[in-house]
Amino acid sequence: MSALSINAERLLNRIRALGEIGRDSDGRLTRLAASDADKAGRDRLVQWLREAELEVVVDRIGNIFGIWRDAGNAENAPVLVGSHIDTVIDAGIYDGCYGVLSGLEVIQTLREAGTAPAHPIAVAAFTNEEGVRYAPDMMGSLVYAGGLSVDQALATVGTDGSVLGEELRRIGYAGADGPGFSKPHAYVELHVEQGPVLEREGVPIGAVENLQGISWQRVTIEGVANHAGTTPMSMRSDAGHAAARVIAFLYDRAMTSNTPTVATVGCIAFEPNAINVIPSRATFTVDLRDPDAERLRAEEAALASYLHDLAAAEDMTIATERLARFEPVTFDARIVGLIEEAATMRGLASKRMTSGAGHDAQMVARVAPAAMIFVPSVGGISHNPREYTTDGDLVAGANVLLDVVQRLAAD
């Protein structure tokens, strides 16, 4: 058993306090990136960082860092922990926020214990992880890792017509430091699972060894609008029916596969969108995910082939647009092993697992050894106000993070 444990009451109180910031008149929690609600959440986080006597740095994309370093380790690369505090619309209180606030708690615990790590330790809150207002998601960590230029990211136009760079300036979080100003010695992200596996198997700690590749596309099918009552079925060019065929193809292919591939059509719109008019256009998104790079490419190729054949068979025009694509990530084996060791030392069972969701860790893994720790999500519910993880599991995960960070910072 580790000699140190985090201050559970302090961590849990902060999670709940941050979870009250950004609620509307109906009680819904929404902190979209660079919004007024996001500013309020950021302000509270910065307040806590400063109360913990950490150096606060904000880079040009608005990523917030709380850094603990001293004269004895200032020249060494920091051990970085963190996640994000922006949310989806009508969110729960744990996704992202738990990782950031646990990172802060780990630093405070180590400082209060009088430890002297060989590396600085920093906590990060990355901008626009959710991607609800600005695309792509995981933007702040992607820019931090050099996968997207900061100028291009700042010029991104949001769903409401706003420009990210202008909004960051407006809320006071357009920093001066270049993204990636400090390359980490290692990165660890603690997160609620957002899935049912750990709870179902009764395992309190997930040692995340890899992360699925993600392919997002927008598909547009062009048909011909016509009267719903007077046009015979055999004479229709129905974009809505063609879209339904694509959706069924994706579902059936994933369901009959013996692989972990998943396929989702999450957004769809018809034009002219009238009850008595055959759709002239169908636009929908396709989300494909698989932890194996070759399988992901095979699924993309299968969809492209199906769309080509469908367009020819139905005499329609079908176009696709790439929205985002991230290769699968294999996390650092040593850090995954440290997570397992820390769990064992705490008397906790652990399970090696794959993350089905995207996380900032997959971006930071481009520039530093990285891994993730999962704790159970009750019912596997996520991106939902009913998202819940028990206090005991939250504290257990934070203590495992404490042990892993302490080991990494001693290297």
Compute the distance between CA of residue 199 and CA of residue 368 in angstroms, rounded to an integer.
30
Q: What are phi and psi of 170, to 5 degrees?
A: -60, -40
Does 227 belong to an annotated binding site?
no
| Average of per-residue pLDDT across 165-172 | 98
Token output for 61: 């994309």
* 334-377 per-position pLDDT tens digit: 999 999 999 999 999 999 999 988 899 999 999 999 999 999 99
| CB-count exposure of residue 256 (10 Å: 0-12, 13-18, 19+) | exposed
Show Cβ contacts of residue 5 under 8 Å, excluding neighbours closer than 6 positions. Answer: 109, 399, 402
Superfamily of domain 8-211+329-409: Zn peptidases (3.40.630.10)
Closest CA to 141 of 169, 101, 100, 111: 100
pLDDT of residue 275: 97
pLDDT average, residue stretch 253-277: 96
**pLDDT score for 273:** 97
pLDDT at 181: 87
**Bridge partners (DSSP) listed for residue 277:** 227
> Would you say 191 is a known binding-site residue?
yes
Please give the pLDDT value at position 1. 47
Pull the structure tokens for residue 158. Answer: 């949001």
CA dist 292 and 399 (Å) reads: 31
Domain with CATH 3.30.70.360 in the chain: 213-326
Does 185 count as an annotated binding residue? no
Q: What is the DSSP letter of 26?
A: T
394 exposed, middle or buried (CB, 10 Å; 0-12, 13-18, 19+)?
Answer: buried
User: Are 142 and 324 spatial neighbours (Cβ–Cβ below 8 Å)?
Assistant: no
8 A C-beta contact, residue 58 and residue 187: no
- Whether residue 43 has pLDDT greater than 50: yes
- Global confidence as pTM: 0.89
Each residue's pLDDT tens digit, 186-226:
999 999 999 999 999 999 999 999 999 999 999 999 999 99
The span from the CA of 183 to the CA of 85, in Å, is 22
Examine residue 120 and say whether the peptide bond preceding it is cis (omega within 30 degrees of 0): no
95 carries a ligand binding annotation? yes
pLDDT of residue 180: 84
- CATH of 213-326 given 3.10.20.70, 3.30.750.24, 3.40.50.1700, 3.30.70.360: 3.30.70.360
For CATH 3.40.630.10, list the domain ranges present in the chain: 8-211+329-409
The two tokens of residue 319 are 């176009």
